[in-house]
Amino acid sequence: MFEILKAILLGIVEGITEWLPISSTGHMILVEEFVEFKASAEFMEMFRVVIQLGAILAVVLLYFNKLNPFSFKKSKEEKMDTMAIWYKVIIGVIPAGILGVLFDDWFDQHFYNYIMVAVMLIVYGVLFIMIENRNKDRDTKINSFNDLTYKTAFLIGIIQVLSLMPGTSRSGVTILGAILLGCSRSIAAEYSFFLSIPIMFGASALKLLKFGLDFTSMELAVLLTGMAVAFIVSIVAIKFLMSYIKRNDFKAFGWYRIALGILVVGYFITNRTF
């Protein structure tokens, strides 16, 4: 029962932090410092990634109509527009897909530590504030997916490669890149959601293949519970974010990242010896 409760807690953290640009890795490091699973290191490595499938399914559910090119309710032109979104998603995931397969484990082994995560939290927090201040009086050029060119989609995909560094936040770095390239906040956020679908399905498949499918009953219960909770919480988090950015910018998330980065450093300095 205690392991299930821990999975629920991590599912809540994943569901919120996967979509808000505040770094799920930074929060997971803090949570796992206080909540220790009675599970192997191999299982936890797989769990941290595969739990994201629940979050991804929330995107599929919320945007099913927008992303479904086979809907009978859509005209031929609307179906072509939907396919164009998928083409731009495919182009956008190529850089991170290739480099992620080659170097994801290497980055985790060398940079998955509280110092690097804290630095990235603070750096990207500052960038959010700077970029929002820079764009305060500028008009956005890309206000729909029809405005998003394939070149811009690919450039956003290249910027997304930076998310391989723990603590950056995949959604955060993607949104920042999209805003820098002229996207509105809503298009930047939605494009980051859509890019996550093939990336997270691919990453989860790789982790499952590496771990194998020989789960104990407790491991399976923990994994499914975490995914289910992440799914439910993600629906709320995505709706909140899209509503929030209609009236606000991302600076609040920038300040939050800076505060969290300082908290991470302060906690580990006071509780660990070098």
11-43 pLDDT per residue, tens: 999 999 999 999 887 787 778 778 887 878 888
Which residues pair with residue 5 across a beta bridge?
none
User: 61-75, 192-206, 260-274: which has the highest mean pLDDT?
Assistant: 61-75
Q: What is the pLDDT of residue 24?
A: 83
pLDDT tens per residue, range 96-135: 888 877 777 777 777 777 788 888 999 999 999 999 998 8
Burial class of residue 144, CB neighbours in 10 A (0-12, 13-18, 19+): exposed
CA separation for the pair 239, 245 (Å, rounded):
10
Three-state secondary structure readout of the chain: CHHHHHHHHHHHHHHHHCCCCCCHHHHHHHHHHHCCCCCCHHHHHHHHHHCHHHHHHHHHHHCHHHHCCCCCCCCHHHHHHHHHHHHHHHHHHHHHHHHHHHHHHHHHHHHCCHHHHHHHHHHHHHHHHHHHHHCCCCCCCECCCCCCCHHHHHHHHHHHHHHHCCCCCHHHHHHHHHHHCCECHHHHHHHHHHHHHHHHHHHHHHHHHHHCCCCCHHHHHHHHHHHHHHHHHHHHHHHHHHHHCCCCCCHHHHHHHHHHHHHHHHHHHHHCCC
Residue at 177: amino acid letter: G
Q: What is the pLDDT of residues 217-274, one digit of tens each?
A: 888 999 999 999 999 999 999 999 999 999 999 999 999 999 999 988 888 888 764 4
Amino acid occupying residue 32: E
Please, which pLDDT band fits residue 8 given cuts at 50, 70 and 90?
very high
Asked if residue 148 lies in contact with residue 100, where contact means CB atoms within 8 angstroms, the answer is: no
How far apart are the C-alpha atoms of 169 and 23, rounded to whole Å? 4
- Does the model's pTM come out above 0.75? yes
67 forms beta bridges with: none
Range 138-143 contact pairs with CB under 8 angstroms and sequence separation of 24 or more: 140/182, 140/183, 140/184, 141/182, 141/183, 142/178, 142/181, 142/182, 142/183, 142/184, 142/187, 143/184, 143/187
Contact, 258 vs 128, CB < 8 A? no
